[in-house]
């Protein structure tokens, strides 16, 4: 399996985290999105949408969209229970991550971290939605150990990717102790520290 990704991208790191945790063998193919490497003819042949992450197998199959990829890779592992309702509980957080968290937290981080722009130049409406997403997580995690169900899952990995670097987008993690505790737990599980 080949993972095409940029190591600065949380969406790509989700895939790496799941592959490393579950022991899946892969080749990492670096794609530097700042150098438009996701727009070359050879890359567009793998993902016509021009985005990383994308995964390719020797038999010609490809799969894009970080949460679809991690959901597929996690099948049959402890990161995704077999029970359909428990899977749906995880899915609700994967969808929430893409609709209510990533477009705000990750895009503010892109603005500052990738483009080198100042915190003051972030879009107010986007900052507001990012703060709301992190507050929702703080509230949710105040009474639970993990994001979905009783165990560490791909819901945690999906949300971890951009939450752990939210400070690079100008968001304060210091005043969110439950989120911080959860980040530490996830990082320990993934051996990121
Ligand atoms: N919803 C997609 C988002 C993918 C995405 O936005 N990828 C960015 C990097 S994080 C990218 O490839 N940007 C380069 C481009 O759009 O040209 C996912 O979850 O995989």
Ordered by start, the domain boundaries in the chain are: 2-73, 84-189
Cβ neighbours of 142 (radius 10 Å): 12
- Percent of the chain whose predicted confidence (pLDDT) is above 70: 100
DSSP string, 77-135: STTS-S-HHHHHHHHHHHHHIIIIIIIIIIHHHIIIIIT---GGGS-HHHHHHHHHHHH
- Dist. CA 98 → ligand 1 center (Å): 11
Mean pLDDT taken over the chain: 98
- Dist. CA 6 → ligand 1 center (Å): 10
- Dist. CA 83 → ligand 1 center (Å): 30
pLDDT at 193: 85
User: Which tens digit of pLDDT belongs to each residue from 82-113?
Assistant: 999 999 999 999 999 999 999 999 999 999 99
CA 62-10-148 angle, 5° bins: 90
CATH architecture for residues 84-189: Up-down Bundle (1.20)
Report how far residue 86's alpha carbon sits from residue 182's, in angstroms, rounded to the nearest whole number.
Answer: 20
What is the mean predicted confidence (pLDDT) over 151-172?
98
User: Which tens digit of pLDDT belongs to each residue from 123-147?
Assistant: 999 999 999 999 999 999 999 999 9
pLDDT at 119: 98
Q: 20 with 29: CB under 8 angstroms? A: no
Handedness of CA 26, 81, 83, 88 (dihedral sign): negative
Tokens 């100008």, residue located: 170
pLDDT at 191 over 90: yes
What is the mean predicted confidence (pLDDT) over 149-170?
98
Q: What is the pTM of this model?
A: 0.98
Q: C-alpha distances in angstroms, 31 versus 26, 72, 89?
A: 15, 22, 32
- Which CATH number is 2-73's, of 3.40.30.10, 3.30.420.40, 1.20.58.220, 3.30.460.80? 3.40.30.10
User: Which tens digit of pLDDT belongs to each residue from 29-65?
Assistant: 999 999 999 999 999 999 999 999 999 999 999 999 9
pLDDT at 171 over 90: yes
Pocket of ligand 1 (CB under 6 A): 9, 11, 33, 38, 50-53, 65-67, 98
């Amino acid at each position: 399996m080949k993972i095409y990704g940029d190591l600065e991208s949380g969406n790509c790191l989700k895939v790496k985290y799941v592959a490393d945790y579950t022991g899946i063998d892969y080749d990492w193919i670096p794609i530097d999105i700042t150098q438009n490497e996701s727009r070359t003819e050879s890359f567009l042949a793998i993902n016509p949408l021009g985005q990383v992450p994308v995964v390719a197998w020797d038999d010609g199959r490809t799969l894009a969209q970080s949460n679809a990829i991690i959901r597929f890779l996690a099948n049959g592992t402890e990161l995704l229970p077999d029970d359909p309702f428990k899977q749906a509980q995880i899915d609700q957080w994967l969808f929430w991550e893409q609709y209510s968290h990533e477009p705000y937290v990750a895009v503010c981080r892109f603005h500052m971290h990738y483009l080198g722009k100042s915190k003051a130049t972030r879009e107010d409406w986007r900052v507001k939605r990012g703060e709301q997403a992190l507050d929702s997580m703080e509230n949710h995690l105040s009474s639970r150990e993990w994001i979905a169900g009783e165990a560490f899952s791909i819901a945690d990995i999906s949300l971890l990717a951009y939450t752990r670097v939210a400070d690079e987008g100008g968001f304060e993690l210091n005043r969110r102790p439950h989120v911080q505790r959860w980040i530490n737990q996830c990082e320990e599980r993934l051996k990121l520290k």
